[in-house]
């Protein structure tokens, strides 16, 4: 199976946002990855509802919204209304995660859980069957363009085993420092969705980079 590719709009050129949205629309990408940061859960602030609504109007593909905010329950309906198709909250930011995920699903969205690099996948054991997607952070969240943390691949392998063992259906998404070099090993480890910010938007030809990433396959990566 080919991985789904979710270019991260955080790395787009906000002075030419329509152009970059159209690039994703006209590429082999599958989703728009939308990073929302509150300056509290992570040491950065990104953008909010007006920008997301604009992207939604122009986007021809689903919006995969990654909330890096504390107490996400406060805004779940607003994100649905802004156009989120998949809404992911952080394990570390949610006190009543089960309730939050059920709320997201009840509003018609897919529900995702994200874990920071220091959070073990074993924390997800009880919640796995209530989630449509697990987002494994392979950098400390907050910024685009950081280097991939190597131990993340082993976490994806463990998570894949857990999903099989529990007969769960959650997709595995990996986010942070993903590029054409490490994409094959991530897919081999079990990643279903690759988020890519800088490696797509800072490349000479973003659509071509997306096509190449889409071809990252299950076979052992060449070294």
Q: Which residues carry out catalysis?
A: 35, 175
Binding letters toward ligand DX5, positions 135-174, x by CB under 6 A: ----x-xxxxxx----------------------------
Residue 177 is a binding residue for ligand DX5 (CB under 6 A)? yes
Residue 38 is a binding residue for Zn ion (CB under 5 A)? no
Calculate the CA 56 to chain-centre distance: 17
Least distance (Å) between residue 167 CB and ligand DX5: 29
Q: In this structure, are residues 171 and 132 in contact, taking their beta carbons and an 8 Å threshold?
A: yes
Q: Which long-range contacts (CB under 8 A, 24 or more apart) does 210-214 make?
A: 210/5, 210/7, 210/24, 210/27, 210/28, 210/29, 211/27, 211/28, 212/180, 213/3, 213/5, 213/178, 213/180, 213/183, 214/2, 214/3, 214/5, 214/28, 214/29
Q: Considering all CA atoms of the chain, what is the largest pairwise distance in Å, rounded to the nearest integer?
A: 46
Calculate the CA 39 to chain-centre distance: 19
β-partners of residue 34 are 65
Residue 33 is a binding residue for ligand DX5 (CB under 6 A)? yes
- 3-11, 51-59, 124-132, 203-211 -> range binding ligand DX5 (CB under 6 A): 3-11
How far CA 126 is from CA of 9, 79, 175, in Å, comes to: 32, 26, 23
Q: In this structure, are residues 97 and 91 in contact, taking their beta carbons and an 8 Å threshold?
A: yes
- Nearest residue (CB) to ligand DX5, 129 versus 181: 181
- Nearest residue (CB) to ligand DX5, 49 versus 148: 148
Residue 111 is a binding residue for ligand DX5 (CB under 6 A)? no
Residues 8, 27, 94, 131: which binds ligand DX5 (CB under 6 A)? 8
Q: Please give the residue whose beta carbon sits closest to Zn ion in the complex.
A: 66
Residues 30, 38, 175, 192: which binds Zn ion (CB under 5 A)? 175
Closest of 52, 50, 33, 67 to residue 200, by C-alpha:
33
- Nearest residue (CB) to ligand DX5, 33 versus 56: 33
Residue 3 is a binding residue for ligand DX5 (CB under 6 A)? no
Pick from Zn ion, ligand DX5, none: which does 197 bind, CB < 5 to 8 A by kind?
ligand DX5
Binding residues (CB under 5 A) for Zn ion: these are 35, 66, 175
Binding residues (CB under 6 A) for ligand DX5: these are 8, 10-11, 33, 35, 66, 139, 141-146, 175-178, 195-199
């Amino acid at each position: 199976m080919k991985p789904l590719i979710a270019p991260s709009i955080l790395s787009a050129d906000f002075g030419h946002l329509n152009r970059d949205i159209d690039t994703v629309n006209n590429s082999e990408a599958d989703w728009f990855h939308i990073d929302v940061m509150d300056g509290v859960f992570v040491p950065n602030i990104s953008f909010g509802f007006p920008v997301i609504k604009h992207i939604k109007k122009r986007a021809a593909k689903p919006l995969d919204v990654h909330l890096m905010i504390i107490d996400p329950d406060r805004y779940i309906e607003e994100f649905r209304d802004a156009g989120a198709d998949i809404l992911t909250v952080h394990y570390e930011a949610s006190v009543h995660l089960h309730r939050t995920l059920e709320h997201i699903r009840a509003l018609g969205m897919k529900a995702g859980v994200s874990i920071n690099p220091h959070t073990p996948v074993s924390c997800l054991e009880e919640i796995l069957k209530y989630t449509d997607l697990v987002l494994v952070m392979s950098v400390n969240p907050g910024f685009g363009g950081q280097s991939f943390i190597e131990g993340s691949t082993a976490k994806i392998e463990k998570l894949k085993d857990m999903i099989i063992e529990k007969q769960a259906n959650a997709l595995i998404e990996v986010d942070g420092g993903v590029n054409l070099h490490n994409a094959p090993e991530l897919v081999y480890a079990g990643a279903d969705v690759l988020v890519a910010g800088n490696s797509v938007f800072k490349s000479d030809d973003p659509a071509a980079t997306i096509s190449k990433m889409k071809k990252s396959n299950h076979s052992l990566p060449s070294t």
